Every structure is written in structure tokens, then in C-alpha cells.
Chain A
Amino acid sequence: MEAQKELEPPQPKDERSQSLILESVKQFFQHKLAVIGSVIVFLFLILAIFAPLIAPYGINEQSLGERFSAPSAAHWFGTDDFGRDIFSRVVHGARISLWVGFFSVLGSVILGTLLGLIAGYGGRVLDAVISRLFDILLAFPSILLAIAIVSILGPSLQNALIAIAIINVPTFGRLVRSKVLSIKQEEYVLAAKAVGMSHRRIVLRHILPNSMVPVIVQATLAIGTAIIEAAALGFLGLGAQAPSPEWGKMLADARPYLVQAPWTLFFPGIAIMLTVLGFNLMGDGLRDTLDPKMKKIK
């Protein structure tokens, strides 16, 4: 009985594991860059949630008399070719970018985890088939694959989201698979098997929770990449469509006015960069505190 208890994985309600969580949280807050990243992400979240309250003008409110006015007290980021307030549009754009970033990654995580679990736990044939599928998807440069998918589904923000979700599936799939393969050999899993636990229960209770840490770290980093990819698709005209204030689309629309009104291009780009930087810093911090072993990989 004693021996069996030792083989059990650390339970979440355990005092030891709670202090481990506390320890990780403490470490995370001591990680300066991670805190900066979290603050940036938090600020953009606030912008996104309260966009209608923060933005002084409507996203499509045109004032043709004020076309291309430079940044001023009335229009902090200036106005664009239709006299629309760029600050208001950038603030509303945060909603779109965070939404696409979050949900596309959620899609990749769910699908990737599922396929990774099947590949790692489902035996050789399934493993071979799924692993080859991942190899094939990874053989395409990701943005190109996204373009291919959008060219099938048709250009729209929703289809861009689906495309980004699909191209990131193999990253999570491989991660989960390799984690499952190593956890499968752990003594507590062997013990669970020995006492006759069902496969479903082993996977759901032991393998899945214990392989989630690298997935969370990777997901944070992937949100940043997904935001850039969505903006790239928007920029190419394959993502959000006019008059959406999606940051990539805003850059594409402002491109002809680079000479005349460069500020129309400054701010959406800075917004993309800052958001992505926030997620990258946060992801790096999470990796360092939750999973020190992964530190070397990146």
C-alpha cells in the first residue's frame, strides 16, 4: 500500500504541489521580463475589452475634411485616407488580433493535443500515420500553407483563423506526443496499469495533466506568432476585409500613402509588435519558471 502511494503522481490538492505552484508564481513575478510581458498583454486586454469606452471615435466614423491629419491632441495617432481616427481603429484592432490569436491557438492546442495523445498512446500504426502527417504539414513554410488553406476556403477573417489553427497543429501534436511517450514509461503510469486502470482513465488522469506544462508555455508563445500570421494574411488581403480595423489590413490600406502620411503605417505596426513582444516575454518567463528543461531548446 505504501509503495503504491509513492507511485501516485503528485495530486493537485496536495500541500506539496500547492507550494510548488506558489513557488512557480513567485519565480514568475521575480522574472522581470516576464512581468513586463504580462503587463503589456494585460494592457492590450484592457484595450480590447473596453475598446468602445476607450476609443474617442467610432471605427468607421469618417470626417473627410480631416483626411491625413498628422497626430495631434484631437487625433493622437492622426487620421487615415477617409479621415478616420487611427487611435480608435488601433484600439478596436486589439479586439480582433487578440481574438484571432487566442482562438486559433486554442484550436491548435485542442486538435494537436488530441492527435498527440493518440499518436503517443495509440500504438505503432497510429503513431506512424499521425507522425507522417505532422512531417508533411511541417514540410510547408507555415505562412504558405496558411495561404493555400485560405485560397481554398476564400479570404475572410474566420478562414484566416481556421488556417492559422491548422498550421500550428503539428507543433502541439509533436510536443504532446513526445511528452506522452516519456510519461508512458513513468512508474506511476505502469503502476496504474498494473492495478487495472482503464486506458481512458490513465490518459485523462495521469498522462494528459502531466503533459500540459510545455503545451501552456508553447501556447503563450504561439499566440504571438498567430497574431503576426493573422496580420500577414490581412496584409495580403487574405484575412480580415475592409473596413475592418484589423492591424494587418490597416497596414495594407495605408501602404499607398507611405510618402504622404507615414503615420498611418506607424501605429498599427507598433501595436502588432508590442502585443507580440508581450506574449513572447510572457512565454519565455513561463518557460523559465514552469519548465526549466525547455530553456535550452528555444
Chain B
Amino acid sequence: MYLPYSNKEKGGESCLFAYCMKRAGMLIPVLIGMTLVVFSIIRFIPGNPAQVILGQRATKEAVEQLTIQLGLNQPWYVQYGHYMLGLLKGDLGTSIRTGAAIAQEMKPYLFATLELTFFAMVLAIVVGVNAGIISAWFKHSFFDYAAMFIALIGVSMPIFWLGLMGQWLFSIELGVLPTTGREDVRNPVESITYIHTLDTLLQGRFDQFADSIKHLILPSTALATIPAAIIARITRASMLEVLHSDFIRTAKAKGVRSFFIIYQHGLKNALIPILTIIGLQTGLLLGGAILTETIFAWPGIGRYIYDAISYRDYPVIQTGILVVALIFVLINFIVDILYAVIDPRIKY
């Protein structure tokens, strides 16, 4: 008997493993390149970086001390070697402003961002994929035109303006959602994992959980709008293509219910382009987080980097950018692996 999914059988697992290893191998030059780019940030500052960081009024001694502290008096390859060794040991550098280890200091910010982007991504996928599917199924209907019009506007919207308008409408005019922040300052959440929705649930504090969700709505909606619009457009296009295939016609002829045709047969086959876009949108989300967090005073990594820029705290800027880029690369790596899991026709 012919088994279309035969590589899931014996040997399929090791094949997938080999594919993962190959993809991981391809990541190495990119990762090294990324560290080089980030490492260069401070070295490319015109003039004496230590002077720029400390400002024009700094004493000569202070400038010299910082130069030594940052290792700027050594040749660049020695500096890079030290930098890489530090990274491998988990040493992400020291903040100039606070003097604290960045790896430690960054943790709460990082998890705050992950929480926000996770909610935004889920929202974007649920809204985008479903809007796209319904649009494709009811092609040229009122819903289709309305959804695609909104998607067009959504793609053209500056995210920071959308955030500001959301704040104005829902917080100031209607007063239904909090304007900024992540929690009620009079009723702070006790952190365990730094992910508030999870922490409050773990502690059984459902009042705080509801409050955390309320704080999440505006920023995650603002952040999700552009990806949702793009996902909706792609889903519609790839579903339209799939819905015209023979196997869908057969399923219809057999009398399979529309719901199953769409979600079981159609979506499964339209998933590859949708998945690609979801992977790419993560970059947009992580980049957009810096703007959203600024507007909503969300204490995430974007805000951490933004504050570091105004204090010219270059080690923090470097590490922040590197960490965000690492997450982006990692998510795209996972998407690549998922391709092979979803579609066995993809050659490992």
C-alpha cells in the first residue's frame, strides 16, 4: 500500500533530526555575524566612544578609566575575543548607568516583552487566520471586502499612532482600560516567573490576573494589528489557491461539512505560507515592541533599550539588540523545523 506519510514511519525521526542539525549548522555563521555587528556598535561611534558616553564635561581620568573598563585600549580582535568568551560564559556585560550585570538586570524586562509579544502573536494569528479563511470561503462577499479593506488600512498604520489612538479612545474617552503600565501600582503582582498572567494564576490571585489581562489588551492589540492584517491577506490568498484544488472538490462532492473542509483539509494545506509569514512577523513584533512599550510604559526590553539610548549606555544597547535578534533567529529556526513536521514532502 502506498503511504504518503511514510517518512513519519521508521527512519523519519532520524531524518528530521538530521534536518534539524543541518539547519542548526547553517545558523552558526549568522550567529557569529550577529555578534560581530553588535560588537561593532560601540566601536563605530565617531571619535572616542568613552568620551561620547560620558559627555563633553567628563574629566580625562574618568574617560581613561571607562576606556580601560570597556577594553577599548586593546586591539579589536582581542576585544572581540573577550566579548565572545564572556558571551559563552553567560556574561552579557555591565550596565554603565547602574553598574549591574546586564544578564541579571534584563531578566524581568525580557519576560515582560515575551508576555506582551506572545499575547500579540496569538491575537494576530487567531484574528488573521480566521479573517483570511472566512474571506476566502465567502469570496467577493461584503465580509471579504470589509476584512480586506481593514487589512489594507492595518498594514499602512504606524503602530505607535494606533497605540496612542487606542489610549485616547479606550482609556481617556471611554475609561474602560488602563492607560499605561503592566499592573495596578496599588496592588502589585508578586513575581515568580516575571510573567504576570502566569504568576497571578500560580498564586491563585484571580483579581490580579484579570487586572493583568486588562493591562495587556491595549498594547497587545496595537502590536498585533499589522501582523494580523498581513496574516489575513496571506491566509486568504493561500486558502483561495487550496480551495480550488481537486481534493477539496472531492470532499465537497462527498458531502463533507464546510467546517471540516476548511479547517481539516484546507487549512492544513495552506499552512506553509501562513507559517512563513508568522515567522517573519515575529521580527516585526519584536521591533514593534520597542515602540509599543514606549507608549504604554510597558517595562519590557524595548523600553530598556530605549532608556539606555538616552543615557548612552552602550553595553545595554548592544546586549538588548543581541538578545532580541537571538529570539527572532530562534523563532525562525523553529518555524523551519515546523515546515518539515507539517509537510512531509519537504526534503530534509
Seen from chain A, the residues whose Cβ lies within 8 Å of a Cβ on chain B are 132-133, 135-137, 139-145, 147-148, 151-154, 224, 228, 231-232, 235-238, 248, 251, 255, 258-259, 262, 265-266, 268-269, 272-274, 276-277, 280-281, 296, 298
Contacts and interface: CB of A to CB of B under 8 A. Distances in A.
A152 B41 contact: yes
Nearest to B169: A262
B178 interface: no
A232 B37 contact: no
B340 interface: no
A140 B37 contact: yes
Contact of A280 (B152, B306, B314, B317): B152
A147 B161 contact: no
B36 to A, nearest CB: 8
A237 B328 CA distance: 25
26 contacts: A132-B33, A135-B33, A136-B34, A139-B34, A139-B325, A140-B324, A141-B283, A143-B290, A143-B291, A144-B325, A147-B290, A147-B309, A152-B45, A153-B46, A232-B158, A248-B158, A255-B164, A255-B295, A258-B164, A262-B168, A269-B164, A273-B157, A273-B158, A276-B157, A276-B158, A277-B152
A142 B324 CA distance: 11
B172 interface: yes
B30 A135 contact: yes
Nearest to B310: A237
Secondary structure type dominating chain A contacts: helix
A143 B287 contact: yes
Contacts of B34: 136, 139-140
A277 B44 CA distance: 36
A253 B307 CA distance: 18
Interface in B276-332: 283-284, 286-288, 290-291, 294-295, 305-306, 309-310, 314, 317, 321, 324-325, 328-329
A248 B290 CA distance: 15
Contact of B294 (A141, A231, A236, A268): A236
Q: Choose among A135, A148, A269, A296 the residue with the greatest number of B CB atoms under 10 Å from its CB.
A: A148
A276 B229 CA distance: 15
B291 A236 contact: yes
Contacts of B317: 148, 151
B164 A265 contact: yes
A251 B41 contact: no
B156 interface: yes
A68 to B, nearest CB: 15
